[in-house]
């Protein structure tokens, strides 16, 4: 590969949010939130309106979500997500490095130091944990040797034990919000970048994950009394889904209070607006660098969040609000101001980028390229999606219907929704004559995908209860 050929490849700028739901961008039909920079990005590119994560194998849903993103592998074909990802799972940054890219990572990683070191040739303000105080982020400086192990495990032990804050790397970043901290690191690197090699920059925010705190001027933009409750707000979930007392669910009182939920949503929107401002700062720096015209820009989130919908607060469920995420592409080779309704996963990003920049996709990657969908909004990527949460819940979803199966403490519960007529998943059609044939069809599809995804071979799947009967 010649240097000239390498340098003609587009740069890649990837913004990744933490806990940002699919319906939190103003330009994409939410008039209650202010996101001017993401609005501009949506106008410049293609928005996937039905992008999903496959779910998670633990309450820390974002950890396998990020591992799937960076390996392109499906949920039950992951190994070591968290502290280390095996070397035969070729990671996105690692593959781009092998094809002539300089790779820079900042912000939340959550998949172990060794995996980070394989992925990035440069970095700054690296956060290996899952969550922390946004104003006091324990961050690492980049270490070209990749030797972050001792302080990383110290961090994990302290986090699990709720011990006093542990000083990581060289510093604890007191007094600067995490979104600004990571954006500053990206801006500094862009301003100093003088290589002819193409650049892959991965900027992974901690926002809008709780604790939801942000500069006060952003919170002042949202009056909780003016924020409508979601139409599927409930005081509590109608039955035990297996994780009603997980950490996220304890962030609000029981039963859910409408005023308290409005406060949570106001904080959530304010954090997203502050995050949006930081994205705007990085985008402005990219424009000034002269690299914008030859840069693929992505924005996505690692999972959604309930915030009062169905009486839930977190992402430990398989409703749309928790498994459906924003996904935007813009840049060379990508249609502008386009919405594509194809059913896609975040793990499809990896092969899509490979096709966009003209490199082969590694055999270890299982996602499907969305290149055709970026050029033709009528492309269908999949007929159905398989969704799973721990050993409690399994679901399948096609373009119209969704079946969720629960098995908790020996009790079985089913939900079946017509998502065209009932997008908020309020009207359970189980037992109604109109849905019998479709429910039977979708249950057989769930069983087929269970086997295709090797769910029954996983630690969780061996305890799962679905049978062909």
**Per-10-residue mean pLDDT, the chain, length 469:** 56 98 95 98 97 94 94 88 79 98 96 93 95 93 82 50 39 82 98 97 98 97 97 98 96 97 98 98 97 97 98 98 98 94 98 98 98 92 96 95 94 96 97 90 94 77 54
pLDDT at residue number 460: 52
3-state helix, strand, coil in the chain (%, to 5): 35, 20, 45
Indicate whether 165 and 221 sit together in one domain.
yes
Cα separations in angstroms, 212 against 202, 310, 341: 23, 21, 31
Indicate whether 328 and 398 sit together in one domain.
no
Cα 43 to Cα 37: distance, rounded to the nearest angstrom:
10
pLDDT at residue number 456: 80
- Among 343, 375, 407, identify where a domain stops: 375
Q: Which long-range contacts (CB under 8 A, 24 or more apart) does 189-192 make?
A: 189/104, 189/106, 189/122, 189/124, 190/282, 190/285, 190/286, 190/289, 190/291, 191/285, 191/289
Indicate whether 326 and 421 sit together in one domain.
no
Task: Answer whether residue 380 is part of any domain.
Answer: no
CATH, residue 292: 3.40.720.10
**How many folded domains does the chain comprise?**
2
Q: Where do runs of H (alpha helix) occur along 8-89?
A: 36-44, 62-71
Indicate whether 262 and 124 sit together in one domain.
yes
Minimal CA–CA distance to 51: which of 327, 280, 286?
327
Task: Answer whether residue 275 is part of any domain.
Answer: yes
- Among 348, 375, 402, identify where a domain stops: 375
pLDDT at residue number 150: 52
Task: Answer whether residue 12 is part of any domain.
Answer: yes
Cα 62 to Cα 56: distance, rounded to the nearest angstrom:
8
Task: Answer whether residue 79 is part of any domain.
Answer: yes
- Could you tell me where the beta strands, DSSP code E, fall in 205-355? 295-301, 324-325, 327-330, 338-340, 344-345
Range of the domain at 365: 3-375
Number of CB atoms found within 10 A of residue 216's CB: 8
- Prediction pTM value: 0.93
pLDDT at residue number 168: 38
pLDDT at residue number 42: 96
Indicate whether 309 and 393 sit together in one domain.
no
Cα 22 to Cα 8: distance, rounded to the nearest angstrom:
33
Cα 30 to Cα 94: distance, rounded to the nearest angstrom:
37
Indicate whether 404 and 362 sit together in one domain.
no
Q: Which residue has the tokens 């300089």?
A: 102
Cα 380 to Cα 377: distance, rounded to the nearest angstrom:
8
pLDDT at residue number 151: 52
Task: Answer whether residue 368 is part of any domain.
Answer: yes
Task: Answer whether residue 161 is part of any domain.
Answer: yes
pLDDT at residue number 466: 56
Indicate whether 238 and 115 sit together in one domain.
yes
Written as six digits, the tokens of 286 are 């990219």
Indicate whether 162 and 262 sit together in one domain.
yes
Indicate whether 327 and 356 sit together in one domain.
yes
Task: Answer whether residue 331 is part of any domain.
Answer: yes
3-state class of 186 per DSSP? helix
Indicate whether 94 and 196 sit together in one domain.
yes
Indicate whether 389 and 370 sit together in one domain.
no
Minimal CA–CA distance to 54: which of 302, 239, 247?
302
Residues 16 and 301: beta-carbon distance below 8 Å: yes
Task: Answer whether residue 468 is part of any domain.
Answer: no
Indicate whether 190 and 256 sit together in one domain.
yes
Cα 181–183–184 angle (5° rounding)? 65
CATH, residue 446: 3.30.1120.10
- Among 334, 351, 375, identify where a domain stops: 375
Written as six digits, the tokens of 459 are 């630690």
Cα 468 to Cα 22: distance, rounded to the nearest angstrom:
34
């Amino acid at each position: 590969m010649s240097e000239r050929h390498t340098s003609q490849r587009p740069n890649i700028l990837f913004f990744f949010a933490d806990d940002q739901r699919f319906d939190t961008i103003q330009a994409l039909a939410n008039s209650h939130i202010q996101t001017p920079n993401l609005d501009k990005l949506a106008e410049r590119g293609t928005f996937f309106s039905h992008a999903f994560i496959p779910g998670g194998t633990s309450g820390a849903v974002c950890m396998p979500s990020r591992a799937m993103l960076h390996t392109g592998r499906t949920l039950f074909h992951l190994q070591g997500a968290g502290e280390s990802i095996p070397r035969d799972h070729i990671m996105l940054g690692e593959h781009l490095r092998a094809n002539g890219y300089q790779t820079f990572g900042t912000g939340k990683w959550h998949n172990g130091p060794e995996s980070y070191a394989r992925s990035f040739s440069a970095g700054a303000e690296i956060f290996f944990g899952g969550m922390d105080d946004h104003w006091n982020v324990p961050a690492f400086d980049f270490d070209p040797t990749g030797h972050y192990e001792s302080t990383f495990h110290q961090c994990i032990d302290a986090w699990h034990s709720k011990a006093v804050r542990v000083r990581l790397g060289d510093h604890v970043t007191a007094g600067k919000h995490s979104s600004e901290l990571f954006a500053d690191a990206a801006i500094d690197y862009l301003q100093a970048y003088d290589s002819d090699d193409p650049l892959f920059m991965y900027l992974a925010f901690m926002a809008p994950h709780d604790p939801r705190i942000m500069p006060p001027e952003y919170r002042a933009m949202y009056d909780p009394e003016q924020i409508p409750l979601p139409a599927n707000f409930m005081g509590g979930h109608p039955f035990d889904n297996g994780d009603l007392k997980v950490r996220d669910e304890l962030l609000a009182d029981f039963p859910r209070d409408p005023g308290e939920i409005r406060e949570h949503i106001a904080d959530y929107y304010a954090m997203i607006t502050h995050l949006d401002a930081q994205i705007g700062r990085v985008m402005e720096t990219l424009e000034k660098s002269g690299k914008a015209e030859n840069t693929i820009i992505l924005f996505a989130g690692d999972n959604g969040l309930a915030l009062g919908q169905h009486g839930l607060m977190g992402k430990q469920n398989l409703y749309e609000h928790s498994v459906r995420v924003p996904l935007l592409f813009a840049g060379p080779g990508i249609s502008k101001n386009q919405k594509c309704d194809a059913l896609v996963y975040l793990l499809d990003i990896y092969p899509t980028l490979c096709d966009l920049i003209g490199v082969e996709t590694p055999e270890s990657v299982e996602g499907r390229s969305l290149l055709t969908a970026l050029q033709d909004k009528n492309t269908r990527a999949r007929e159905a999606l398989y969704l799973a949460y721990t050993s409690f819940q399994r679901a399948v979803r096609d373009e119209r219907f969704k079946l969720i199966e629960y098995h908790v403490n020996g009790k079985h519960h089913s939900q079946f929704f017509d998502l065209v007529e009932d997008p908020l998943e309020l009207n359970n059609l189980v037992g109604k004559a109109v849905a019998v044939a479709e429910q039977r069809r979708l249950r057989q599809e769930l069983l087929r995908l269970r086997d295709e995804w090797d769910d029954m071979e996983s630690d969780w799947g061996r305890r799962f209860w679905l049978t062909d009967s």
